[in-house]
């Protein structure tokens, strides 16, 4: 049961979010039916309760349902401005990228096809094959602030989906049995959605080992009325699996004090569906499939729908330079002697622990980086950021202030289109120093 939780958590977490977007939206992203884009109208804030949501780009998100056939995607000319469209299967595999790094910023038209589609595409070189009939497109458009919203909205309006052929019916997500007790609801969702959205072929054999749990049962749910000892065993397995996933999101015991934990290869669990814009290279594949299951679960827990590092690199830290947990009761500095090496831009975003959400603050600043107006650099060109809960009295510290939650926090640094020193690990983010 614990193994089943680790294996199936990404499917359940991802599709739960798919349903949430389709039914009610999230924050500034309104609800939208399958195969229609939902466009945010501002940068994400505390109301957008999505794990590790970014505050650098305006989101445009579409939930795909290709059960009735392909969809045609039209992408406008972005005039060399940074954007990325990320294509994600039901098991949270990143299967394709379009955008500045991957395909350029000219206007483009692509055909999105379901698994094993045998039709004739209008342009065979512009096809993205999704590994499951349901998936997600996450669009991120760089936005410097309110004054840049007009440009981004024009790009959003040019982003659209339409069916290749007449029709438009969608199957959506199959409904788990509502009579299953909440204690076993995870297994019921996994059972139903695993049948509807089969995994990659090499995963099928591993999945068969879960037959004794009822996860491969057809028809009536085996979880509606279960023997108490069996229910207890499943519940214990869920708890053990959940703890494994939580452990995988924490820094290792031998982590140097204050060192940022890079997630360069956290999203390398996709071993089977590498389409346009991905790098089909051993460097970007986790060689051990069992290890990939845990990495996939940790990624879904701490950064659902995040990018491969070659598109955008992330690093996190929970501790200061002395190894003590970061906490809003104290004041910290983060000094960059040189700007992080990127082709596009970089930022540091602040999150609460353990939810990894943005937290409201009086100046409405949730990230800080090279596009933040009014930053004050030192005479030698270096940049010192101040991290604390209350606004600093010193004008320079206030200009470079990234507010923290009152309790424990975890920042993420994002490097968009990172350069080689980031990807080969030779660039290290400087540690955070406590100064009070």
The model's pLDDT over 280-336, given as tens digits with 9 standing for 90+, comes to 999 999 999 999 999 999 999 988 999 999 999 999 999 999 999 999 999 999 999
User: 166 pairs with which residues across the strands?
Assistant: none
Answer with the residue of higher pLDDT: 51 or 406: 406
**pLDDT of 344-360, one tens digit each?**
999 999 999 999 999 99
**How far is the C-alpha of 25 from the C-alpha of 48, rounded, in Å?**
10
**How far is the C-alpha of 154 from the C-alpha of 140, rounded, in Å?**
14
Domains and CATH numbers, the chain: 1-256 (2.60.40.1610), 261-434 (2.60.120.600)
pLDDT for position 226: 85
Give 266's pLDDT tier (boundaries 50, 70, 90).
very high
Stretch (H or E) spanning 21: helix 2-24
> What average pLDDT does the chain have?
95
Cα atoms in the Cβ-side hemisphere of radius 13 Å centred on 18: 26
**How far is the C-alpha of 41 from the C-alpha of 46, rounded, in Å?**
15
**pLDDT of 7-36, one tens digit each?**
999 999 999 999 999 999 988 899 999 999
Q: Is 133 in contact with 197 (CB distance < 8 Å)?
A: yes
pTM for this model (two decimals): 0.91
Residue 254's CB is within 10 A of a number of other CB atoms, namely 5
Picking from 239, 234, 200, 193, the residue whose alpha carbon sits closest to that of residue 216 is 193
**How far is the C-alpha of 217 from the C-alpha of 192, rounded, in Å?**
9
Tell me: pLDDT of 168 over 70.
no
**pLDDT of 115-165, one tens digit each?**
999 999 999 999 999 999 999 999 999 998 888 999 999 999 999 999 998
């Amino acid at each position: 049961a614990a193994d089943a939780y680790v294996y199936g958590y990404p499917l359940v977490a991802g599709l739960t979010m798919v349903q949430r977007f389709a039914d009610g939206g999230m924050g500034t992203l309104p609800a939208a039916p399958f195969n229609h884009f939902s466009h945010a109208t501002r940068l994400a804030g505390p109301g957008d309760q999505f794990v590790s949501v970014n505050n650098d780009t305006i989101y445009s998100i579409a939930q795909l349902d290709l059960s009735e056939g392909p969809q045609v995607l039209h992408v406008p000319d972005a005039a060399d401005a940074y954007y990325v469209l990320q294509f994600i299967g039901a098991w949270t595999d990143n299967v394709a990228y379009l955008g500045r790094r991957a395909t350029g910023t000219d206007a483009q038209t692509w055909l999105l096809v379901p698994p094993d589609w045998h039709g004739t595409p209008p342009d065979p070189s512009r096809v993205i094959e999704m590994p499951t009939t349901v998936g997600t497109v996450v669009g991120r458009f760089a936005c410097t602030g309110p004054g840049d919203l007009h440009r981004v909205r024009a790009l959003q309006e040019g982003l659209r989906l339409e069916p290749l052929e007449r029709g438009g019916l969608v199957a959506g997500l199959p409904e788990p049995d509502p009579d299953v007790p909440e204690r076993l609801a995870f297994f019921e969702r996994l059972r139903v959605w695993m049948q509807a959205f089969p995994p990659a072929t090499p995963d099928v054999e591993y999945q068969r080992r879960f037959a004794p749990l009822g996860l491969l049962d057809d028809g009536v749910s085996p979880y509606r009325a279960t023997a108490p000892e069996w229910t207890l065993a499943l519940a214990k397995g869920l708890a053990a699996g959940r703890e494994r996933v939580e452990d995988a999101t924490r820094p290792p015991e031998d982590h140097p004090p204050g060192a940022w934990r890079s997630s360069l290869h956290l999203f390398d669990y996709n071993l089977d569906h590498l389409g346009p814009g991905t790098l089909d290279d051993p460097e970007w594949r986790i060689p051990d499939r069992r290890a990939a299951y845990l990495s996939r679960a940790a990624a879904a827990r701490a950064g659902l729908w995040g990018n491969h590092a070659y598109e955008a690199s992330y690093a996190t830290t929970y501790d200061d330079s002395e190894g003590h947990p970061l906490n809003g009761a104290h004041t910290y500095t983060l000094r960059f002697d040189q700007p992080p090496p990127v082709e596009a831009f970089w930022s540091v975003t602040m999150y609460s622990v353990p939810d990894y959400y943005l937290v409201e603050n009086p100046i409405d600043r949730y990230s800080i980086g090279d596009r933040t107006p009014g930053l004050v650099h030192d005479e030698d060109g270096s940049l010192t950021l101040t991290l604390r809960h209350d606004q600093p009295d010193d004008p320079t510290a206030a200009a470079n202030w990234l507010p923290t939650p009152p309790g424990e926090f975890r920042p993420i640094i994002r490097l968009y289109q990172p350069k080689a020193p980031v990807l080969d690990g030779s660039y290290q983010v400087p540690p955070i120093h406590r100064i009070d």
